[in-house]
Amino acid sequence: MPDATADAAPPSDDIIVTGTRIPIPGLTSSSPVASIGEEQIKLQSALTIEDFSTKIPQLSGGVRQGSQGSDAFGAQVIELRNFGQSRSLVLIDGTRAAPFSFRNSVDVNAIPASLIKRVDVLTGGAAAVYGADAVAGVVNFILNDDYQGIRFTASTRLSVNGGAQYGGSLMMGTKLGDRGNIVIAADYTQRDPIRAGQRDWAATPNQTIPSIGGVFTDVASGRRFGFADDGAFTTRPSATSNISDSYPLISPLKRINVAALYKYEITPQVELYGRAMYTNSRTEETGTPGATPASVNRTVSISQSNPFLTDAIRNQLTFVNGAAQVNVSRSLAELGLVTYKTERNTLQFQSGLRGPLTDAVNWNIYAQYGRSTENSLIKGDGLVTNAAGADNFTSIVNTVNIFGPNQDALAGALGSTINGFNRKRDQFVTAGTISGTLEELFSLPAGPIGFAVGVEYRRETATIDQDSALLTGNTYRQGVQAAYSGSFDVAELYGEALIPLIHDTPFIRKLDIGGAYRLSDYNLFGTHGTWKVEANWEVDRNLRFRGTYQRVLRTPNFGEFAASTSSLPFNNLVTVDRLKPRYGGDPCVLGTGNGEQCARFGAPAAGSANSNAASYLTGNYYYGGNPDIEPETGYTTTAGVVITPSFLPGLNVTVDWYELDLRGAVGVIQPIAAITSCYITNPTAGNPLCALVTRNANGTFKDAFVNNQNLGRLLQRGLDITGSYTLRGDWLPGRGVRASYQGNIVTSYLIQANSTVSAVQCKGTFGATCSSDGTTLVQPAYRHTAGLGVLLDKGVIQFDWQRIGKVRSSAAGSTETIKAQNTFDLSASYDFTDVVTMTAGVYNMFDKDPPRVSTGGVFNTFPDTYDILGRTIGFSLTAHL
């Protein structure tokens, strides 16, 4: 459960207030900031960031361990307020973390959990202070650079339904004389895979693939025969098989983190500081095409002398001149599931100098470099044609047994370990800041003016190289994957001011106003200014009001402005579980579409076809970047109250209203949204979204176009509420009892896909229609985490309750709903001696299954939002030396 004490300055020599660069003791934030302390992280037996970050109501799904088929490959990507994973800025001690892949996203699992002292989640824009991408907010990881001693921790999290995660960490810290400190940490984490068959709710009887034994049709006579899944010959073969039990729900992960934090006072005026971080992670998961095995459906020539023909097969074939023409439809399940075996290396080096310029003014300069490299081998796929340009399957049908399942020779003849891709992302940042107060020059009656001014330069590059088979589309499952590279740089000037206006008067104990401005000159995107104004009014010790108004900016990521056009077969949207939410059938065939519009575009008649069959989507699904993309701009507003009543010591309550208004949002319009707009909600001849999904002459769908573009608008309003109360007394056990609450209420969330169409109200919905970037598919109107803890003399016992509110389907015409979901955790930590601490917990203690949905989910649910592990037992043992 997050702490509701974010307004208090941390007890450290370094003053860190997330949301500002002005270091003034006792400074309180004008922006809403929720914090998670080291104790709460420990109570989750956390091995990765995901183990505790999913409990924060402001953090939506993003990419998690259950995000099969994503292109994150073992990463965890944080997303604030369902605003898209590229619109949340991740910081480490107030400076940028190294991104990976082609987005602005950061794999937060590259941050060692053992080093984290505090996590601040600032849930309003912060572009003027930290630069682009802080549209929905900032997640700032504060690391423990003051630690002294040796600490070893061994942890495990075991699901009672199958699945395990375990690992250990070693942290060592020591003083460098009386002038500095160095901390070195090493973490190891291993996560076991979980298959769909290990969870009853994940059973998908309709998750069919072409028969693994094969269906064979003699072209001359039309006779059909085939083989059942057990290998039995039949003249009434089933066209499909189901092997979905073997599909992965959670991918295996092995991860090593090594980090060093240092600071050393060279002279009283100069301190050297910095960090070095390295992470190696290895995983094997499904890629964008999904796990579904490769398959063939083609007519081949079977020789009469084929050594694998049985009498039963011969009797079904018509041989002419020693050969029979046979249509073969079968899965190539012998190749295995399609998986990406990926290794990612992430490193970041930072070094800086800082110190006092005067008694009231400090200076700070630093430079940092980060790099993420990924290499991925694709297994379970094969090459369609050989080096001579001949079809591989056609060429081996008389030398390899293609009849029936489990023909191991097929894997050797057709399978190929494809080199996949290499992705590299580099980031260089250097900055210098002067900050403090003007008290040595003058002070206002209410106190000195605080300020921070600085310069920053940032350069980012990205390169993605693809195997030649991917570049040409010469694989069964991968489509055409483009290679590309790009770079940009930005030079920035920024400044902040905090002006104390009034203090110690009736009704105004303290009134401060402030502002910030950042001027950013991009070599690709032009020059832009972002700013904020803020106010803090402390009425008395019981009551404080705060508010901010800001202009924010997000520049396009490499996938949005630099990527070439890639493609997948359009029918992947009905055969790949992860992609199914992007297509919902043809309204004209389903009978839900406007009749005039359907006739205008030549659609088939209602009920005349199966629009969810793979054969209905005949062309390609094209996606990629757009060099004409412009930066997103918007405005964020927060207004709140902080209540700390003196008549009830230990009570802290904050209520903050917010509005995020983003214009020209970069994104894509998925086929389900384009089709719904064209044929149901805006069935006009001039609707531009109709052109995004084209039709064949017979009316079936041909191609879909989902390239990035500046679309319409994202507008979200809501309330953040936090509260904590610690009750102490001689009649209570130990140090007292603590109650805490953190909740998010979304009052409105409008997504306007294009300026020519109406906005859709997405508050309290699920489904791809209301996903701003196709990642998080659930947008609840209410979420909370509430906790009750007993503070023992040497430990704590904590009970937590997470609630995700009721949501309804965003699909047009659907009445499906998911009721509110509640899960409960019970955890405890106890110091048995000064050396040994034990932590244990039961998470999702009542073994609550995730909710089931009929369509639009992945394995019948939404792993991006709901817990898919079930009851999990966590245990951690820590030794302090």
- What's the confidence (pLDDT) of residue 179? 93
CA distance 601 to 255: 52
Distance from C-alpha of 742 to C-alpha of 729, rounded to nearest angstrom: 25
What was the pLDDT predicted at 11? 37
pLDDT at 352: 97
What's residue 166's pLDDT?
A: 93
- The tens digit of pLDDT for each residue in 302-325 reads 999 999 999 999 999 999 999 999
| Nearest-angstrom CA–CA distance, 777 and 766 | 5
Q: How far is CA 348 from CA 279, 427, 468, 598, in A?
A: 9, 9, 31, 55
- Among all chains, which residue has been given the structure tokens 């985490």? 785
Sign of CA dihedral 136, 801, 36, 11: positive
Of 378, 370, 165, nearest in space to 255 by CA: 165
Give dist(CA 430, CA 447) in Å, integer. Answer: 32
How would you classify the pairing of strands 736-752 and 248-250?
unpaired
What pLDDT score does 271 carry? 96
Q: Return phi, psi of residue 590, to 5°.
A: -75, -15
Predicted local distance difference test score (pLDDT) of residue 756: 66
- State the pLDDT at residue 2: 44
Structural domain 33-138+251-287+341-379+419-559+630-670+708-832+848-880, CATH architecture: Beta Barrel (2.40)
pTM: 0.89
Contact 302, 326 (CB under 8 A): yes
What torsion, rounded to 10 degrees, do the Cα atoms 599, 604, 606, 612 define? -130
**Cβ contact 680:813 at 8 Å:** yes
Do the strands 33-37 and 116-122 form a parallel or antiparallel pair, or are they unpaired? Answer: antiparallel
d(CA 89, CA 19): 12
* Residues 72, 282: Cα–Cα separation, whole Å: 12
Amino acid 751: pLDDT: 87
Size of the chain in residues: 881
Per-residue HEC secondary structure of 601-647 comes to CCCCCCCCCCCCCHHHECCEEEECCCCCCCCEEEEEEEEEEEECCCC
**Residues in a beta bridge with 415:** 382
The answer to whether the beta carbons of residues 235 and 225 sit under 8 Å apart is yes
Cβ atoms of 536 and 507 within 8 Å: the answer is: no
Which of 862, 825, 880, 852 is CA-nearest to residue 157?
A: 825
Burial class from Cβ neighbours inside 10 Å (0-12, 13-18, 19+) for residue 50 reads buried
Q: How many Å apart are CA 426 and CA 487, to the nearest integer?
A: 9
What is the residue-wise DSSP string for 712-742?
-EEEEEEEEEEEEEEE--TTSSTTEEEEEEE
Query: Running DSSP on this structure, what letter comes out for residue 97?
Result: P
List, by residue range, all CATH 2.40.170.20 domains of the chain. Answer: 33-138+251-287+341-379+419-559+630-670+708-832+848-880
pLDDT mean values, one per 10 residues, the chain (881 residues): 41 62 73 84 84 84 68 82 86 93 85 89 85 90 93 95 94 94 96 92 86 96 95 94 91 94 95 96 85 92 96 95 96 92 95 95 97 93 88 94 94 84 95 95 93 97 91 88 91 96 93 96 95 95 94 90 87 82 91 95 94 93 88 94 92 94 85 91 90 95 89 90 89 86 95 77 87 77 95 93 94 89 96 93 96 86 90 94 86
The predicted structure's pLDDT at residue 286: 85
State the pLDDT at residue 275.
97
Q: Which distant-in-sequence residues (6+ apart) come within 8 Å of 473 by Cβ? A: 479, 480, 567
The answer to whether 751 and 698 have CB atoms below 8 angstroms apart is no
Give the pLDDT of residue 13.
46
CA distance 401 to 393: 11
Task: Please compute Rg for the chain using Cα positions.
Answer: 29
Would you state the structure tokens that stand for residue 68, as one six-digit string? 């099969």
Cβ(538)–Cβ(506) below 8 Å:
no
Indicate the SS3 state at residue 31.
Answer: coil
